[in-house]
Amino acid sequence: MAYSDRARVTTATSRPVAADSGVAPVSIGREAPRGGVFGLLPELSRDALGLLTRCARDYGDMVRVRLGLTRAVLVNHPDLVEEVLVTRNHDFRKHVGARRLGSLLGNGLLLTEGDFWLRQRRLMQPAFHRQRIAAMGETMVNTTLAALDGWKADEMRDVSQEMIELTMQVVGRTLFGTEVGEDLSRIRATNRVFVEHFRSRLFTMMILLPDRFPSPGNRRYRRAVGDLERLVYRIIGERRASGDDGNDLLGMLLAARDEAGSGMTDRQLRDEVMTLLLAGHDTTALALMWAWVLLAQHPQAEATLHAEVDAVLGGRPPTAADTFQLSYVEHVVTETLRLYPTAWVIGREAVRDTEIGGQPVAKGSTILISPWVLHRDPRFFDQPEEFRPERWADGLVQRLPRGAYLPFGAGQRVCIGSAFAQLEAMLLLATIAQRFKLELTDRTGPVEPLPVVTLRARHPVMMTLRTRRTNRSA
């Protein structure tokens, strides 16, 4: 079956829930304890995953909490998630926390709203068509093979860094085409500043000084935004001057026209390119990092994955078309994103007085939907804390209620790069697993999640590279 003929199904976003589907009824929860002067904000900053999980367990499917000066509603049931992201989505916009990324991403697709967002989404959607994405498979695999040539048997590497490096190269090459070698090191340097900037202020940013305040950290951040911006403008300028559309995402964005025949301005292209560069590598890299950790902790699953990769590929590098035979690899990706959804919280803000689950929600309220909490809910997942890729083998995705599994979000604002990310994750996993087995070492320690903008590991994830003896022919 051709790659484009079959949509990969890993989000439960498009099916109605039958009245007799047995979906657990919604329990509208009580108000959580008020906490101190900043409400539960300090606890959220200290242990967000624990707090969100405890609130769902102890107070139900819709929990009202106070975070600093903000009143927030934690939404923990698929039906309520559907209301916020799908049926009542016009009552909500992106949350102020996400909007703080504005100095970096401008009016890029992730942050804009309303008619302008719709125009941009329509312009960009064709560039993310499955057929176009499939054509990028070769770049994904070749980039990985080139990186693996530098990997040596029995050496130890920080797998989070390795995966970030790889996915950055992939998005750089698929966005800008051929060689972005020099530029990649600058993108990497600026990216480190962004991660550090947001790491220190994800929740506290609601009450902290704005980015304009001239603190050393803010100055470093603004310099990094300027650096990346200059680089992106230079690449756009060179591409416009060459008149070459190029067979890459930038070429497609340059060629995109709306119904009135208008293309994007350089400023808008800058915003979209910055958005794709940043949204397009970190999430996938971290998903891969969690996959390697889980596989190393579950030797049986790892052996099944190795056996499938060897049987399907017989030693040759994978292609996009092969991914339809690599069903266990797909289940590993799906299960990893269930246990470690790298977009671990989705935030919204009510733009008018509205309701959720029949309960009033005031204009300005923050709504937090956590895939971390939803994906570990025993009402929807059997033994939810266990890593069991095979749970996806018998059509679980069809049986789940909409909104129970949403690593890529849901509704209009669902991730535009989900097919890209899934293809990339599968191809990188298969390519690496053909050659290497990644082992956790004594130096790794427990791998603790750190929820920042994305779900990272608190410490470097050091793993030892063991070469695999396979019937490799390439």
Return residues touching ligand HEM (CB under 6 A): 94, 109-110, 121, 275-276, 279-280, 283-284, 287, 342-343, 346, 407-409, 413, 415-417, 420-421
Task: Name the closest residue to ligand HEM (Cβ).
Answer: 417
**Using DSSP, how many helices (H) and how many strands (E) does the chain show?**
18, 13
Indicate the residue among 318 and 407 with the shorter CB distance to ligand HEM: 407
Residue 152: phi, psi to the nearest 5? -115, 150
Residue 462 CA neighbour count, 13 Å, CB half:
9
Which two three-digit tokens encode residue 197? 């900037």
Q: Which residue in the block uniquely carries the two structure tokens 């996915």?
A: 167
Report in angstroms how near the CB of residue 163 gets to ligand HEM at its nearest: 11
Report in angstroms how near the CB of residue 250 gets to ligand HEM at its nearest: 12
CA distance 260 to 102: 27
Indicate the residue among 253 and 463 with the shorter CB distance to ligand HEM: 253
Indicate the residue among 269 and 465 with the shorter CB distance to ligand HEM: 269
Beta-carbon contacts of residue 322 (< 8 Å; ≥ 6 apart)? 312, 313, 430
Residues in the chain: 474
Report in angstroms how near the CB of residue 128 gets to ligand HEM at its nearest: 7
Report in angstroms how near the CB of residue 25 gets to ligand HEM at its nearest: 26
Report in angstroms how near the CB of residue 381 gets to ligand HEM at its nearest: 18
Indicate the residue among 304 and 422 with the shorter CB distance to ligand HEM: 422
Residue 100 CA neighbour count, 13 Å, CB half:
22
Indicate the residue among 112 and 464 with the shorter CB distance to ligand HEM: 112
For the beta sheet containing 92-94, the strands, ordered from the edge strand earlier in sequence to the opposite edge, are: 28-31, 62-67, 70-75, 366-369, 346-350, 92-94
Report in angstroms how near the CB of residue 414 gets to ligand HEM at its nearest: 6
CA distance 283 to 131: 22
User: Which helix or strand (DSSP H or E) is residue 269 part of?
Assistant: helix 266-279
Report in angstroms how near the CB of residue 415 gets to ligand HEM at its nearest: 3
Q: Which residue in the block uniquely carries the two structure tokens 């092969």?
A: 322
Indicate the residue among 29 and 280 with the shorter CB distance to ligand HEM: 280
Structural contact between residues 271 and 409, judged by C-beta atoms closer than 8 angstroms:
no
Indicate the residue among 401 and 407 with the shorter CB distance to ligand HEM: 407
